[in-house]
Amino acid sequence: MCGIIGYCGPKPAANVLVEGLRRLEYRGYDSAGISVLKEGNLTVFKKKGKINDLKSILPDHINGKSGIGHTRWATHGEVNDINAHPHTDVSGRIAIVHNGIIENFTSLREKLVEEGSEFKSETDSEVIAHLISSLYDGDLERSVKQAVQLLKGTYGIIVMHADEPGLLVGARNGSPLVLGVGDGEMFLASDVTAIIAHTKQVIYIEDGEVVRITADDYATTDLKDRPVDKKIEFISWELEEIEKEGYSHFMEKEILEQPESIRRGMQGRIDLEFATGHLGGLNMTSQELINIERVKIIAAGTSFHAGMVAAYLLESIARLPATAELASELRYRNPIVERNTVYFAVSQSGETADTLYAMRELQRKGARVLGVCNVVGSTIPRESDGGVYIHSGPEIAVASTKAFTSQLTAFYLFSLIMARMRHMGTDTGLSFIKNLESVPERVAEIIDRRDQLLALARKYSGAKDFLFLGRGINYPVALEGALKLKEISYIHAEGYSAAEIKHGPIALINETTPSMFLVPEDSLRDKVITSMKEVKARRGPVIALAVDGDQEIAGIADDVFYVPQSHELTYPFLMVVPLQLFSYYCALELGRNVDQPRNLAKSVTVE
Ligand code: F6R
pLDDT number for residue 29 = 87
Interval 205-224 mean pLDDT: 97
Output the CA 602–ligand 1 centroid distance in Å. 7
**Helix H or strand E encompassing 446:** helix 439-448
Q: Which atom of ligand 1 is nearest to the CA of 380?
A: 16
Of all protein residues, the one whose alpha carbon is nearest to atom 7 of ligand 1 is 399
189, 161, 255, 313: which is closest to 450 by C-alpha? 255
**Catalytic residue set:** 2, 602
| Residue 227 and residue 151 share a domain | yes
Which one of 27, 303, 383, 408 would you pick to mutate in the ligand 1 pocket, going by the greatest count of ligand atoms within 8 A of its CB?
303
| Residue 223 and residue 122 share a domain | yes
Q: Which residue has the higher pLDDT, 466 or 604?
A: 466
Strand partners, 188: 6, 179
Output the CA 301–ligand 1 centroid distance in Å. 5
| Residue 184 and residue 75 share a domain | yes
Output the CA 509–ligand 1 centroid distance in Å. 29
Query: Pick from 398, 413, 437: which residue ends a domain?
Result: 437
Tell me which residues have their CB closer than 6 angstroms to ligand 1. Answer: 300-303, 347-349, 352, 355, 399-400, 483, 487, 603-604
Domain span at residue 467 reads 446-607
For residue 520, whether the previous peptide bond is cis, meaning omega lies within 30 degrees of 0, is no
pLDDT number for residue 13 = 95
pLDDT number for residue 347 = 98
Domain with residue 149: its CATH number is: 3.60.20.10
Question: Would residue 240 count as lying in a domain?
Answer: no
pLDDT in tens, 71-83: 998 888 999 999 9
Which one of 305, 326, 328, 349 would you pick to mutate in the ligand 1 pocket, going by the greatest count of ligand atoms within 8 A of its CB?
349
| Residue 284 and residue 251 share a domain | yes
First to last CA, the chain: 11
Of all protein residues, the one whose alpha carbon is nearest to atom 16 of ligand 1 is 347
| Residue 313 and residue 273 share a domain | yes
Residue 25: pLDDT above 90?
no
Q: Which residue has the higher pLDDT, 406 or 61?
A: 406
pLDDT number for residue 60 = 82
Domain count, the chain: 3
Residue 1: pLDDT above 80?
no
Residue 605: pLDDT above 90?
no
Q: CA-to-CA distance for 315 and 569, rounded, in angstroms?
A: 12
Q: Which atom of ligand 1 is nearest to the CA of 604?
A: 11
Of all protein residues, the one whose alpha carbon is nearest to atom 11 of ligand 1 is 301
Mean pLDDT, the chain, whole residue set: 95
pLDDT in tens, 463-518: 999 999 999 999 999 999 999 999 999 999 999 999 999 999 999 999 999 999 99
| Residue 541 and residue 492 share a domain | yes
**Which one-letter DSSP state was computed for residue 174?**
B
Domain with residue 360: its CATH number is: 3.40.50.10490
Categorise residue 506: left if φ over 0, alpha if ψ from -120 to 50, beta otherwise. Answer: alpha
Interval 157-174 mean pLDDT: 97
Residue 603: pLDDT above 80?
no
Output the CA 413–ligand 1 centroid distance in Å. 22
In the chain, the percentage of residues whose pLDDT exceeds 70 is 100
CB atoms within 10 A of CB 421: 15
| Residue 543 and residue 521 share a domain | yes
pLDDT in tens, 417-451: 999 999 999 999 999 999 999 999 999 999 999 99
Q: Which atom of ligand 1 is nearest to the CA of 300?
A: 6
Interval 371-388 mean pLDDT: 95
| Residue 430 and residue 454 share a domain | no
pLDDT in tens, 180-195: 999 999 999 998 999 9
pTM of the model: 0.88
Residue 64: pLDDT above 90?
no
Output the CA 400–ligand 1 centroid distance in Å. 6
